[in-house]
């Protein structure tokens, strides 16, 4: 069992890093100018907390990324649509099956599923800001100049549609854009 204070401490640690990075004029890691090989995405895993919880975490991440990034061969639209839709329908089902009943449950399911460490930065009637640290899709990958966490965006959208209202989820920060966290803006419509 994972102690809640351990989770709170690691989220506090990552939140401080994220706030520093957001205050910069540009992402802290510059975009790479060279061609990115699939192996540099599959093996560039930076999930210290999850690895501490389970030493096999890199194998789990590798398998997930192998599936996710192998779709890039078909162009940007295929992984975007497939990953986002899969995540969206998973999010809907998590709420429909009462696995997720509130925002606290969202945090728990992200950890239990090893998707990442979910941090609700801001919550209001019209919008939310959520960060994900140690994200399964991108944590550790090089700056490739684009956000890649469509699955996570879909899961958030599906869960929040059932819990709050229809929404638009936009990823603003990502390891794929040179940051060390994923940042999502959610707008309720």
Give the residue extent of every domain in the chain. 4-19+36-188
What digits encode the pLDDT tens for the residues 77-116?
888 899 999 999 999 999 999 999 999 999 999 999 999 9
Give the pLDDT score at 30. Answer: 94
pLDDT band at 137 (very low <50, low <70, confident <90, very high): very high
pLDDT higher than threshold 60 for residue 171: yes
What digits encode the pLDDT tens for the residues 29-63?
999 877 888 888 999 999 999 999 999 999 999 99
Give the pLDDT score at 159. Answer: 98
Give the pLDDT score at 36. Answer: 84
Give the pLDDT score at 32. Answer: 87
Question: How far is Cα 175 from Cα 60, in angstroms, rounded to an integer?
Answer: 19
pLDDT band at 1 (very low <50, low <70, confident <90, very high): low
Task: Name the 3-class secondary structure at 180.
Answer: coil
Question: How far is Cα 146 from Cα 150, in angstroms, rounded to an integer?
Answer: 11
Q: How far apart are the first and last CA of the chain?
A: 37
Q: Which homologous superfamily is 4-19+36-188 in?
A: Trafficking protein particle complex subunit 3 (3.30.1380.20)
Contact indicator for 147, 171 with CB cutoff of 8 Å: yes
Question: How far is Cα 171 from Cα 130, in angstroms, rounded to an integer?
Answer: 9
């Amino acid at each position: 069992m994972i102690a809640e204070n351990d989770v709170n401490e690691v989220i506090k640690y990552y939140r401080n890093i994220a706030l520093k990075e957001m205050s910069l004029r540009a992402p802290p890691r510059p975009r790479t100018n060279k061609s990115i090989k699939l192996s540099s995405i599959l093996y560039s895993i930076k999930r210290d907390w999850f690895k501490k919880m389970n030493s096999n975490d890199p194998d789990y991440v590798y398998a997930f990324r192998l599936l996710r990034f192998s779709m890039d061969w078909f162009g940007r639209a295929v992984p975007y649509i497939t990953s986002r839709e899969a995540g969206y329908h998973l999010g809907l089902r998590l709420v429909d099956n009462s696995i997720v009943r509130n925002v606290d449950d969202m945090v728990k399911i992200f950890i239990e599923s090893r998707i990442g460490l979910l941090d609700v930065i801001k919550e209001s009637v019209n919008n939310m800001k959520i960060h994900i640290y140690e994200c399964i899709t991108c944590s550790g990958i090089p700056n490739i100049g684009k956000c890649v966490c469509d699955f996570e965006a879909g899961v958030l959208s599906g869960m929040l549609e059932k819990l709050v209202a229809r929404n638009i989820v936009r990823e603003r920060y990502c390891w794929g854009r040179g940051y060390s966290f994923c940042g999502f803006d959610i707008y309720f419509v």
